[in-house]
């Protein structure tokens, strides 16, 4: 029980960091970017990350509420997939500005990569441990 509270709280915090980090902590390129025109491509990646972070935070809140191990396994799989999608947004799906010297490539995207990688790796570890425990209980 204590482990799920810590995991749920950590998930909520990292989800909020993914959502609001590019907006307030590690800024994306401002409007009127010299390489991209009026609205830079990284602006839309930042908006998509708001959605991914809010989904992760909401799933983390559900982890705090629901205590059944099968429910938490499903929520953890959802967090894993959302974190993976959040990892792919700045690098594959939407991308950033053309110039690699822009703020999105120097600050925001590396920070998002680290945070999303921690979410994916941590959740994969939790899912693996939960599956292992569930398989052990069902074989008894």
How far apart CA 69 and CA 35 sit, in angstroms, is 49
pLDDT value at residue 117: 96
Given this model, what pLDDT does residue 31 score?
Answer: 62
- Report the DSSP beta bridge partners of residue 33: 37
pTM exceeding the 0.75 threshold for the entire prediction = yes
Residues of the chain with pLDDT under 50: none
pLDDT at 106: 87
Cα 74 to Cα 38, 62, 77, 79, distances in angstroms: 41, 11, 5, 9
pLDDT of residue 104: 81
The pLDDT value recorded for residue 98 is 81
């Amino acid at each position: 029980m204590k482990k799920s509270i810590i995991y749920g709280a950590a998930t909520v915090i990292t989800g909020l960091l993914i959502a609001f980090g590019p907006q307030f902590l590690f800024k994306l390129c401002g409007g009127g970017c010299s390489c991209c025109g009026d609205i830079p491509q990284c602006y839309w990646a930042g908006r998509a990350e708001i959605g991914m972070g809010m989904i992760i935070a909401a799933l983390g809140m559900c982890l705090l509420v629901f205590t059944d191990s099968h429910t938490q396994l499903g929520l953890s799989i959802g967090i894993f997939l959302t974190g993976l999608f959040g990892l792919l947004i700045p690098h594959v799906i939407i991308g950033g500005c053309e110039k690699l010297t822009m703020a999105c490539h120097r600050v925001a995207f590396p920070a998002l990569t680290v945070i999303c990688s921690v979410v994916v790796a941590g959740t994969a570890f939790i899912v693996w441990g939960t599956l292992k425990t569930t398989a052990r209980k069902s074989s008894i």
